[in-house]
Every structure is written in C-alpha cells, then in structure tokens.
Structure 1
C-alpha cells in the first residue's frame, strides 16, 4: 500500500480512474483541489486544498507521497505552469512516480489544443536529461471508445462527446486517400483498470504507456457503424490539402464542445477540432503503442463491436 496524490481529481476521467483504484482497496488516495472539498467524493478519499502557484505548499502537500497522477485540464493551465510546479515539487518532496495529464493520443500533430501535452513531455525529458530524478509514464489509451456511443452515456462519469464518426446521425468524415489510417480506441473502464494495475506494478514504468483496447482502420469504424445502425453511413471525404489550409469543406462538423470550452470560443474551437482530428488521424497520431498491453498481458480488453453493440443495437 502506498500514498497516491491525484491532481485535478474532480474531472470525469479522473473519477473513472479513482473508482477503479478504490476498488483495489490497496492505497491511500489524496485528491489535490484548488477549491473547497466536494461533498460527493467517496469518504475514503482525503481532499487537500492546494495553490498550484505555490511551490512551497505543493512540496508540503507531496511529502510522503509515492505516486502523483495529474488530470489537470491542460486548456486551463496557461503554459502548463501548474503541472510544471507539481513536477518540481514532486522531485523536491521525493515522489517516486509521476503521470502527466495525457490519457489520449500518442501524437499531438495538428492538435493545438494538445500543445500543453507536448510542453510537459519536453519538460519531463529535460528534468531527467542528466540522470533520472523522477520516474514517469505517458498513459495513452487513444480515443475513448465510449465517444462512439454519442450522445448516449456509457459510463458513470465520462461525459458523451461527439466525433467525426457520428453513428447517431448515420454519417462520418474521412480524409481522402487515408481510409486505412489506424486508430486506437479503448473503453474508459479498460483504461481505468489498466491504470490501477500500473499503480500496483512494482517494476519500473515505461516512459510511454500505450494502451490498445482496439486498433482498427477508420474504414472499419465506419463499417461497424453501418452494421450497428442497419444501413450505410453517409460518408463525406475531405482533401488533406484543404485541411492543411484550415478549410473544412464538409457539410457538417463537430457540434458539441468539450465542457472546458467557453461559449464564446465554441464555434471556432469545434471547427479547429474537426480539422485537427481528421489531420492527426491521417498522420498517425491516434495509432498508439501497446506497452501496457504487454505489461499486463493477462488482461482481456473489451472489443469495439461488443461494447458498441450494447449501446446501439436497441437504438
């Protein structure tokens, strides 16, 4: 049993992981929060209010902590100051392990909303450049498979989010000439289960922790949607040259923004994310690795068809 600190622990992805960690009953869990403690948090969890702009307070909060996992919303962390301060404090406090706020794609190309992830990847490399002072792992499950059930909620905490594969309206967007681009998709339950195993793992974490629930082509995703919905999906193909120029020539795009995006910025952000998702997929950013599959080879992942059949076969 070790002491685990979770930064940004009130977010929906963090709460999925926390539930899986609580189920093991193996660790002391401390959630770091900027605001007052929340009433709907499990009583087994200690909530600690911290100022992420105060290095001294962070060091005090992390004394005696074995592992720190960050789920801080990177869009709200200007220049990733909070995460950098947590990393610095973790090193000073003698923390053994750290996981930055990743939990998505392997690459960040053409996804400006993920620039913060790249900054933290580079920062972690820098702090260890003359010798390892902090063990860390980039946990990358690809796209949460749950999002393909949009608008239906398929897990306790994760909010539904639309993608370029819109099974609800029987349509999809693809990049012309890149129909065989690969994507990694993992259910949030499988992600949380693997994360809990990683926390229990006694060996050294790999720097990159790819999690492959499913690896399929974008064409296979469309074909599955057609089987589940009982008729062909309307597929629009866009040219990569237009996307590179910031042009979205399709008749539709993403319509529901992430809850972290303000109403004022939503329209521009939705277009940017639609273009970015298409471009990044075509360039392999969502073709994740399988380090944690190999580390926990006994674990049986949920197949895409089995999972989505439960969500769509009755719709």
Structure 2
C-alpha cells in the first residue's frame, strides 16, 4: 500500500483530509505533527521536530512515506519555517517522491505566489527532485453553514454574517468566487493521488458565484433582508473593513489584530479575482463522479437548524 503522511493532520483541513483518505483500503495514512497529546490509540502519529531536518528525513524513510500532504497554514510566524524544513526533509528522504504544499486557498497573484509563506515553499521545492503541486480551491463554504454542517474548520465570519443578517462585501460584489466544502476538497485530494503526473498548481472548486448573488440566496432562504455595505479595495489596503456583528462575539480563535489583517487580505483577494478558480484543467472535469456541495444545499442545512430552533 502507498504510505501517505499528512502534516498538520490532527487539525482543521488536515483532519478532514485524513478522515477521507482513511476510507481507502489502498492507502496507509500517517499524521505528522508536533503534538501527541490528542493522539488516540488508533492514530498513526509521527511526532517530529521540524527544525531537525535529518531526523525528520530518517523518520519518513523508516515509515516508507511516499507522499506528503502539507496542511500547514501560514498564519503562525513559525509556519513557514516548519514547512520549509519539512520540504528539505522530504527531499533528503529516500522514500518520499511527491508532496502537496500547504496553502490550500487562493490563486497566485499575477506576479507569482500570493504570500511569503508560498514563496518560501516554492523556492525550497524547486531545489528538490520531488514532484509537487499546490491546491487552489477558492474559499471554504463550511464557514457559512455552521453549526449544522460537518466541519473541522475554525469559526470565521467573512463578508456575510448569517446570524447577524448583515454583509460587508469587498469590492463591488460582482467578483466571482469559488466556494468549496472542505470535505469535497479532501475528496479531490484523494482522487489526485491516483494521477500519474501533477501540475505545479491543481484546481478544484465547488460552486462559483458572486457575493451579491450569495446574499440574494441567503435572503431568500432565511426570509430576511440583509443590511449590505461595500468595502472598496483602497479601504482594505489600509487595513480597514466594515465590522459585522459576529466579529464582536469573541468566538474567533485568532487575536483581533490577526483577524482584521486576515479579513482585509481575503477581501483584497476577492477584488483581485484570486478566488475565481479556473475551470479549465480543474479536477472537477477529471473526476466527474465527485459532486461538490452547492451553496444552496449548505445554506439549507444551516437554515434547517434555525427553523428547528424556532
């Protein structure tokens, strides 16, 4: 069986990918991470010190890891160093042949990778003989359907506050965005493991629409009018944004300054079209049997929860 190791596989998107991969009888799925406290007896957890490249490379070889899926995200100051060290270890390991780099999300900007996190990873990947790719998936649909939808993604209110019936839309609201459910992303990842070759960028998406159309659908399904405001790109570039009621709830796992920076960055990506995942060459056409969740179905899930509460 092919041995696949998911870096960051005990949390958020990584946990989702691990759950889907473990449905296959043709894969041995390991989890790479620093912590073992949350490990259950059935987990195959490889505790690593990312800074110790030689030891990590040896560990990968000992477990005959063929493919690494990195779900390390660039929000923490040490994340970039961890991913670069993991890539170096994979390159040194005698067993690793393929790696999916972290940063599932937006398209690269016209000038190259979108973030410094991606730039550092790309520079290191090009020094290796590994076959590699990065997934571009758009924006996660999960955030708009909690608490009903099954998800391991942390709470995040971006642009549309379903509870507060308010929207703070970046740009004109007519920019196209791909909304993709995390478990559908995991299914596409699992399918991509069977491809003979990988491009450096792999595309998949759920449903593409605009925030203006998204709000119309939300209003239709909730039976409520949303108060809508628009944030121009210039405002977002200044680090400013229209606050939504959910932003004051204290539910976020991120510090306020980090959250504001993240949301204004996401808003600028929307305006720049970086969430408009290309359809040509996307995995959707290579694996038509994967039927991604629609926006309507996700919002209906959530609305049924609200209806049941009333």
Question: What band does the TM-score fall into relative to the shorter chain?
Answer: 0.7 to 0.9
Residue 70 (structure 1) aligns with: 70
- Kindly tell me the number of residue pairs found equivalent between the two proteins: 297
Partner SS for 2:292: coil
Gaps of 5+ in 1: none
Residues 1-315 of structure 1: pairs in structure 2 closer than 5 A = 1-36=1-36, 38-40=38-40, 43=42, 45-63=43-61, 64-78=64-78, 80-94=80-94, 95-107=96-108, 114-124=115-125, 126-127=126-127, 133-150=129-146, 152-176=147-171, 178-199=172-193, 201-248=194-241, 250=242, 252=244, 255=247, 259=253, 261=254, 266-290=255-279, 291-315=282-306
TM-score (norm 1): 0.85
User: Any conservation in 2 of the 1:153–1:160 contact (CA below 8 Å)?
Assistant: no
* CA RMSD between the two structures: 2.4
Alignment deviations for residues 225-266 of structure 1 (CA, whole Å, 9 cap, x no partner): 111211221101223222223333x3547625753x3xxxx2
| Contact 1:140–1:209 (8 Å) recurs in 2 | yes
Deviations 1:180-207 (A, max 9, x none): 10111111121111111122x1411221
Q: Rate the CA distance shift 1:208–1:311 in 2: closer, same or farther, 3 A.
A: same
Instruction: Please say if residues 15 and 152 of structure 2, whose CA atoms lie closer than 8 Å, have aligned partners that are also in contact.
Output: yes
What is the rounded CA distance, in whole Å, between the counterparts of 1:229 and 1:191 in structure 2?
Answer: 27
Long gaps (5+) in structure 2: none
TM-score w.r.t. the length of structure 2 is 0.87
Deviation at 1:145, TM superposition (A): 0.5
